[in-house]
Amino acid sequence: MTPFTIGKHTIEPGTRSTIDLPVSALSNHTPMTLPVHVLHGDKPGPAMFISGCVHGDEIQGVEIIRRILVHPALAL
């Protein structure tokens, strides 16, 4: 298994990591980042991307992702 490289971050197989990806800057030059939780299994298999909270008033996505991240099937 090879590591995932996302932006400037490398996530080794069999590890979990939370990284901040730079996405933009506000009009006052405050940087904006996107927090990304990466779970890289140690066995070959499919990859999945889950996105939530695209719109600030849609809070259900936060809870869904929290539940997925602690699900026993994703234990490393």
Q: So what's the pLDDT on residue 48? A: 87
Given phi > 0 = left and psi -120 to 50 = alpha, else beta, which region is 7?
left
Whether 76 has a pLDDT exceeding 80, the answer reads: no
| Residue with the two structure tokens 């939530």 | 52
61, 54 in Cβ contact below 8 A?
A: yes
Q: What's this model's pTM, rounded to 2 decimal places?
A: 0.77
Whether 13 has a pLDDT exceeding 90, the answer reads: yes
Rounded CA separation 61/51 (Å): 8
pLDDT in tens, 41-59: 988 888 888 888 777 778 8
